[in-house]
Structure 1
Amino acid sequence: MSTIPHITLNNGVRIPQLGFGVFQVPDAETTPAVASALDAGYRSIDTAAIYGNEKGVGAALADSGIAREDLFVTTKLWNADQGYDATLKAFDESLAKLGLDHVDLYLIHWPTPARDLYLDTWRALERLAADGRIRAAGVSNFQPDHLRRLLDHSSLVPAVNQIELHPGLQQRELRALHGELGIATEAWSPLAQGALLGEDAIVSVAAAHGRSPAQVVLRWHLQLGNVVIPKSVTPSRIRENLDVFDFTLSDDEMTAIGALDRGLRTGPDPDTLN
């Protein structure tokens, strides 16, 4: 069992710093993938309504025999379900698919600014948090302007902002704002879907430590303080992604990887996705 460090969120809830993501994993493949992850030592599982695999996640959790209090489960509200009443209904549906009585973290998946519903949606998350049905409320893909507007209308600061983040897209302004506001940074697409794993800076550091390029990038995230959720359906890679806690990158190695930032998005732009 790997001992994964935790980060304490702004409401006192603790989240494992390394979790397991199931984006683009078909529902039928999700149960064995999550089972492999739990067996390897992961305790944080990240899914979303739009992934269509909440049932598969729930089945793996139910079969695991792991106590609920030892698991950290995240799911996300899809764009079509934004708005106060629609959010509460969609949350009930996600909870039923997961087979749980609460989730640890519930996120607004995208701000969809042109639809202008995220303030009403956030009020619903405030209610879910007050009712104890979610242990922490957060957002995903929110830009600085979205966060500032949210906090102009609410006293509940998001516990997490889950954003695309990797050496090619380091989001320094956004991460600095997270630091000011007490919001944890969680990285999706932490390996840029493999696009950067052949970069000389990463390959040379990997060789120096006897590690894979993916392990080096995950270690870079961890040393920055990010929460990270790599995805794989291959049991050997699931285990490899967890084996990143017994080596440390030097300041020079962190700087070399930090020099790879070039605004490289593998996913949509949050300012224009509606």
Structure 2
Amino acid sequence: MTQATVASDAHTGISSVKVAFLGLGVMGFPMARHLAAAGYDVVVYNRSPARADAWLAENGGRAAPTPEEAAQGRDIVFSCVGNDDDLRAVTIGEGGAFAGLAPGALFVDHTTASAAVARELAAIAEERGIGFIDAPVSGGQSGAEKGVLTVMCGGAPDDFARAEPVIGAYAQAVRLLGPVGSGQLAKMVNQICIAGVVQGLAEAVHFGKRAGLDIDAVIATISKGAAQSWQMENRAGTMAKGEFDFGFAVDWMRKDLAICLDEARRNGAHLPLTALVDQFYSEVQSLGGSRWDTSSLIARLER
């Protein structure tokens, strides 16, 4: 079938929707696993075959040697890759997924990329009779592992209606925010918010330590008030200890902030704090922290 519908066998619970997942990194690997666990017929593709082999060893299913072959016979193809160029490669590059999708199929992209590339690929998909949803996620590796991601979508309402229940296998919140590109723009809003919050938290923890306070006690107290945030609840303690070997890497955050700043230049928005925090992250990179968690902003204050 080419028009995806959520039709499950009442006896087996196995969905009749056939899906593929392209990109088995720290996010895509568990997202695809949740699809398999929910009973979907999943084909996977990864640029490094060993990663696909590891996924198959845990989850069964089938791996394809190219995105095109992964997409053949699939109702919905999901992707979660690195950047705009990676996304173009798995969709319209040699052996790309668009060549394997039949008219009426749907492509859902979870990459954090530019709104421009989402619109570019959506236009190409439309010419081929393929639906396209840009659907970047928030929640990090932990959210992907637990299946509780937040997904911000852009696209046509009919396409979203087809994708939403399937995305629900690994998300706690899924929302259509407008036409194609809107998901990526919403993810930019998300990253702008996070950048400011993490910098504020880094300065607060640094100040508290210099003041001789019991940081754990302070955080336990103020996290019940107006200062509360996800970053405070999940990163303040490890930030205070200088532990940065988990979570969302500085390199990835700088990629995301570059997208935000580029879009701001295009739409005329003023992002002085975002630009400043991006510079601070460049200092963290110079300290050897390219793969540290984003909470490592405190390292530049305590060096």
TM-score where L is the length of structure 1: 0.34
Whichever structure has more helix as a proportion of its residues is 2
Larger radius of gyration: 2
TM-score where L is the length of structure 2: 0.32
